Amino acid sequence: MKETKRVRFLLTNDGGNCYPIDEPMGVEHLHKQVDMLIGTQVDTLCWNLGLPGAYRYDTKVSTRWGQELDKMTQARFYRVKENLEALIRQGIDPLRVILDRGKEKGIKVYPSVRIYDCQMGGELDPLNREHPEWQIGDYPRHGPASAFKAASYLTQLDHAQPEVRERMVKVVDELLDRYQVEGLELDFERRPHFFKPDEAVENRHLMTDMLRQMRAAARRAGEARGRPVEVIARMWMNLSDCWNLGLDIETWVKEGLIDMVMPTNHYFFALDHPIEAFVELTRGTPVQVVIAYCPVVNQTPPGANPELPDTWAAPTSAGRPVAADVEIPYIITDDTWHAGAQVAFAKGAQGLSTFNLSFIARLGAEWDLTILHELHDPALVARHDKFYPYITQESANRPQRLGRDAVSYSLYMADDPGAVSRMTLAVYITQTTTKDRIAFSMNGGELEMTRRLTRPDPTDGLQAPEVDPHHFFECELTDAQARHGDNELTIQLIERNPEVASPLTVVGVNIAVAYES
């Protein structure tokens, strides 16, 4: 990590969070998108413009949300359209309002431009409706979207079609010319599925050519204004997957087509993506690496998302906070944000970004913006308590069944074990009984784990909580057992209770790090 008191700190607003409110919507609602950052250490707000062909600003080169549609398929889609059109009828362009508010409050605002994303349905995009023959018609085989089987992925438009790429270039030109933006976030991550899977690698030059046009336009705009226009590319956190999706990040860096790469979680927070590859790729270049995390550990309640495998509702004791008297079992804690920041800095990142953070505004008065005052400072992060969740829905570490063979987990520890006051390892295993015998070791050394109840019984036997995992296993780690960097946790089933047929499955592995206050 470079010696610096602070690093780049950006927030990407997923966009439209204010639009689905009951009409009428006013300028004050738009101002809140910027005002939430006043007094924080966030230097740049990347504000999402909507979806290709369904933009939420007064575009003259594409189409707005719901334009040319007499009926919307959902009530919330109607509210977005009605609020947007009502503002425009009053001569109010939401993007212009956001940009002006950012200048007034001293916060950079960059439009966040999605390269393509039909998660809301292809029917919102007139180009998609007019040319169904341009739809990819297949699910992605690489990247985060390969875990989803949403029907909307089949209707993503194929960027092998010149008209699809030309539209994106026109939108970028408009932002540079009409709006004089200071920078752009080009979002190649939401949802990363751009070509027919068998043609993606051979078509990668098409995406690179499109980016060359955008970069050339940004340079022209910068030269005309006498100050450069920053170009950020946000992508999935795996270079190999990016390549197989038709994104040649190496060429982008080599040719200087971007100023910043922003490897990003797709939806769920995870610590173990190979971000070192991005750091190594940009070494010796002016391109910055900024890591973006999402504030979600597992699927939003209620219930499992049928599109996602291995959905597991972790108990609060596995690191998820309680807001008032209601559990919010999908929002990560401040300590988890600090763990993510420490991992990013330890691996060479030069900044951080948050995605979907405004999502937790739904907590209302319980919304805690502490991290927006802290994550810019690597020295502060280094001495902050941490919570490392090693199994989430996007982690390389996955739930594993215990059987005859031992299972292992790779646990990256970004803190210095010799400098912390306490390190607590917790392992959650489903369907355990007191008659099961399980052995644990770290880096080859045996661990003495204590079996604990996940939810102690507050009724003293009157009505025991029904929760699985019923038990978790815990121990305090020493600096002789855990080390900075990679650690291997091994779990071996010694003896299973013969009276229980259900399998034992490891579903949670966490390390909590505490410093003296």
Q: Where are the domains of the chain?
A: 8-299+327-384, 399-514
% of the chain surpassing 90 pLDDT: 71
**Res. 404: pLDDT tops 50:** yes
Q: Read off the pLDDT of residues 405-423 as tens digits, 9 standing for 90 and up.
A: 999 999 999 999 999 999 9
34, pLDDT greater than 50: yes
Place of tokens 């219930």: 303
pLDDT at residue 402 is higher than 90: yes
Nearest to 52 by CA among 154, 159, 195: 159
316 has a pLDDT exceeding 70: no
Q: Phi/psi at 176 (nearest 5 deg)?
A: -75, -40
Taking the C-alpha atoms of residue 139 and residue 141, their distance in angstroms, rounded to an integer, is: 6
Cβ pair 33, 68 in contact under 8 A: no
CA–CA separation, 13 vs 356, rounded Å? 6
pLDDT of residue 360: 56
Burial (CB count within 10 angstroms: exposed 0-12, middle 13-18, buried 19+), residue 22 = exposed
DSSP 8-class letter at 131: -
To the question of pTM greater than 0.75 for the whole model, the response is yes
Structure tokens at 23: 């009409």
Q: Cβ neighbours of residue 260 under 8 Å, at least 6 residues apart?
A: 8, 230, 231, 232, 233, 287, 288, 289, 290, 351
Q: Give the per-residue pLDDT at 124.
A: 92
pLDDT grade for 148, boundaries at 50, 70 and 90: confident
322-323 and 230-236 beta bridge pairing: unpaired
Q: Tell me the fold of 8-299+327-384.
A: TIM Barrel (3.20.20)
Poorest-pLDDT segment among 70-84, 162-176, 312-326, 490-504: 312-326
Mean pLDDT of the chain: 88
Distance CA 309, CA 312 (A): 9
pLDDT number for residue 470: 83
Distance CA 38, CA 46 (A): 15
Q: So what's the pLDDT on residue 321?
A: 36
Classified as helix, coil or strand, 331 is: strand
Strand 326-327, strand 322-323: pairing? antiparallel
pLDDT in tens, 60-102: 999 999 999 999 998 989 999 999 999 999 999 999 999 999 9
Alpha carbon dihedral 167, 29, 374, 411, in 10-degree steps, equals -60
Which CATH number does 399-514 carry?
2.60.120
Judged against a pLDDT cut of 70, whether residue 326 lies above it is answered with: no
Question: Which of 199, 237, 512, 194 has the alpha carbon at shortest distance from 384?
Answer: 512
Rg (CA), the chain: 24
The tokens for 139 are 């699910």
Residue type, 147: A
Strand partners, 488: 410
pLDDT in the model for residue 145: 80
Q: Which residues pair with 289 in a beta bridge?
A: 261
